[in-house]
Each structure stands twice: as structure tokens, then as C-alpha cells.
Amino acid sequence: MRDEDPLETWLFKERMAGKPTPRVAAHTRAALGRLSDLLDNATSKKADLWQSGISTWGLWALAPADLARAHQLCRRVIAQGGSGSTHVQEGLLEMIALAKSPSSAVFWLETLDLSRPRDAFAQTRRTYALAALALIACRTDASAGFEALLKAAAHANPQVRAMATLYLGRACSESGGDLPAEAKAVLMDIARNDAAFGPRYQARLALQAAGDGAPLDHPGEVFLFRVCLRGNLQAYRTIAVKSEQTLAHLHDGIQRAFNWDADHLYSFFLNGKLHDWRYAVACPYEEEAMQFADEAIIGNLGLATKHKFLYFFDYGDCHEFDVQMVGVEAKAKRAQYPSVAESHGKAPGQYRW
């Protein structure tokens, strides 16, 4: 199960829990009542919300009649805070998500902009909201779920846009259906024109999941990548790779340019953050990944000049290379790619002994 992917967690819980019982629904209603009392009776000292018993560890079933109340309580917890408020928020958000009600779509869109000072949970809450919309799209009402995700894909925050496009693709994959024509058109526009890398990349993955694809960037041309071992800026190599080649070709080019032995596993993290599965491209020998290096075509990634990402090589020695896309040039006649366009400094040693 992927870390930080609430949709996968909820799909698993859905399979394990089965149909909710009236007893569980009554237990849930009682917990909401306790939380309401705690918020109502809070003094100048913040309430101890742990006493409500709400968290992601319990078994909950939200009856339709209690849904609006859960929405309102969640807004109040976000605004007021209190001891255990993050865990209670998680429990409430999961409770509402597993109700899979199309009527919650407005609440989820509103949640994207709910925040308070020093709100460390804001980004996770946005992820929950978008994952919940994907759950609605693939389980109860595809039209309502996709429509709300498309609205989120136009959000001012590029991180929200990126996550919205990611969950459009996830909803399409989980439902086994097709993306609506409107969704495809919006995603194509994002894939080609969004100012931020994250939305462009995730839109391209979503289109691929739907059996489509954005046009290749710079067909027939060569991408230039400046590569250095993290912390060693004095030694770098610029690798030229054709637009039609893959990240596996870039891996081979880096290994040859530094004269290393390419006999270990590797991954690329296209947002530069190690172990972020949303932007991970794994080597072909991995068991599970959103994308594999020998399938990740350079011209399909949505890269722009100056974009930086991470190449992680050898999971034992943990070598981290910074990679920056520094330009595009015409393909040279009779040249073999990938090739070294520039070499600066002595290559660092591969092994530490």
C-alpha cells in the first residue's frame, strides 16, 4: 500500500469492512455527539478532542442523515483546533469519504481552501479531499466526482492542480471506465500549457491511464540534462538524450558518463523529493510503480528548461544525483544518443572503500 495515498487506504478498508451495520452507524452518531459537546463547551483552554473517540483507528459508518453534521463538525475542528485535532480531522475526513456521497462534493471543494495559522495538516487535508472526490467518481457517481476534480484542477495552487489531475487518473484506473470528453480536453490543456511542472506531469499520466496521451514535446530534438552527484557541484556531466528516448536511456547515459557500474537498482523522483511515489519513476526491475523508466519517454514528461529532479542510484549506498534540464537542441546527424555534451571535473568514485 502506498504511503500517503488515502484513496488506496479507503479502497482497502472498503473491501475489508463490508456493508456497514446499524450498530456501527449508531456508534458513529454517538461519537459525533461527543465531539459536538466538546466543541460547544470549550473554554479559553482548547478542548481535548481525543475524548470524542474519533480517529482513523475505529470502525465508522456515517448515515445519510448525519452527513451534513459531520461536514459542519469538521469545519469547526479545523477552525478551533484543540488537543488531538489532527487525528480527529483525519477520522472525520475518512468517515465522510467512506460515505461516498455525491452531495459531499461541495464540502470537499471547500476543504481545499480551509486553513488556519500554522496549519501543518493543510496539505494532507487537501490530499484527502481530492482522494475522496476520486472515490465518489469510481464508486458512486462518476459525473459528480469528475466534475468536482476538474474544478480542483483549475485551482490557483499548483499543488492542488497537480493532485487533482493525479486523482483524475486514479479514478479512471479504479473505475475501469473512460474519462469524460470534457475531462480529456481539460487534461490535454493542462498537460501542454500549465505553468507548473506538477500539473503538467500528472495530467500526462492521467491521459495515459485513459489510453490517450499528450503530444511529444520537441519531437526530433535532443534534451540536455546537467547531472552532478549531490554535494559535488564541481564535477558534472551534461547528457544529451533524444525526446523519443526514455529515462532508462538517461540512466544509461549517466552511468557511462561517470564511468560507474550500472549494476544496481535506481529511481527518478521528478519533483526532486526522495520517496515521493507521486513523482517516482522506477527501474524496470521494481515490482510496483506508477511509471517505469523504460516506459517514461523524455518528451512525454512535461519538462521545461531549468526544471530539477533527482536520480537515486543503488539502494544500498544511496547515491543521489541532481539532474537539471538545461536546454533543447537540434539532433546532430549520425550522432549516437544518449551522449555526453559537456564534461567538467573529475568523476566521483562509485564505491566508498
**Rounded to an integer, what distance in angstroms lies between the CA atom of residue 213 and that of residue 179?**
12
Q: Which residues contact 337 (CB under 8 A, 6 or more apart)?
A: 222, 240, 241, 242, 245, 249, 253, 331
Reply yes or no on whether the pLDDT at 43 is more than 80: no
Q: Which of 92, 105, 91, 95 is nearest to 134 (CA)?
A: 105
Cβ atoms of 50 and 84 within 8 Å: the answer is yes
Reply yes or no on whether the pLDDT at 340 is more than 60: yes
7 DSSP β-pair partners: none
Q: What is the pLDDT of residues 278-329, one digit of tens each?
A: 999 999 887 777 789 999 999 999 999 999 999 999 998 899 999 999 999 9
Q: What is the pLDDT of residues 116-158, one digit of tens each?
A: 888 889 999 999 999 999 999 999 988 999 999 999 999 999 9
What's 221-344's CATH class?
alpha beta
Q: Kindly indicate whether the domain formed by 6-209 is annotated with CATH number 1.25.10.
A: yes
Range 326-330 contact pairs with CB under 8 angstroms and sequence separation of 24 or more = 326/224, 326/225, 326/226, 326/238, 327/223, 327/224, 328/218, 328/221, 328/222, 328/223, 328/224, 329/221, 329/222, 329/224, 329/240, 330/221, 330/222
Q: Residue 262 has what pLDDT? A: 81
Amino acid at 244: E
Average pLDDT over residues 262-275: 93
pLDDT greater at residue 349 or residue 103: 103
**Ranges of each domain in the chain:** 6-209, 221-344
Q: Which of 167, 170, 161, 180 is nearest to 302 (CA)?
A: 161
Residue 343 grid coordinates: 564534461
Q: Residue 352 has what pLDDT? A: 64
Average pLDDT over residues 231-253: 94
**Rounded to an integer, what distance in angstroms lies between the CA atom of residue 329 and that of residue 215?**
18
Q: What is the pLDDT of residues 75-84, one digit of tens each?
A: 999 998 888 9
Q: Which residues contact 37 (CB under 8 A, 6 or more apart)?
A: none
